Copies of this chain bind each other. A is one copy, B any other.
């Protein structure tokens, strides 16, 4: 089973998920827009992620192209699970209430959630 990505690795995965296969240079540029980060740091992390199997890469060209090897949804689900356990003692409902209460959602977003809830009720 693949290891969970660390925080720094997750940052990199976000870039790959949003932009598709990318070079280290590109990923580093994206990260650098948000915070200071050295090129070799990003490189090293991506190499480690490759060892772990979190990314795959194409080494045909000199500049290697990396691609996420795990799905965004599955990863979020996975991390969410342990987060709920650690922080909300396993109560997903508590988390949902917190998240909702603490966030000004647009009417459209609220409708989305209502739709999902009604779907769940029908499937009961």
Contact = CB atoms under 8 A, between A and B. Distances in A.
Interface of A: 7, 10-11, 14, 73, 75-77, 79-81, 83-84, 86-89, 92-103, 105, 107, 109-110, 112-114, 116-117, 120-121, 124
17 contacts: A10-B86, A10-B87, A14-B89, A76-B87, A76-B95, A92-B99, A92-B100, A93-B109, A93-B112, A95-B95, A95-B99, A99-B99, A100-B117, A105-B120, A110-B117, A113-B117, A114-B117
A92 B101 contact: no
B121 A97 contact: no
Contacts of A76: 87-88, 94-95, 98
Secondary structure class of chain A's binding surface, majority of residues: helix
B87 A80 contact: yes
A113 B96 contact: yes
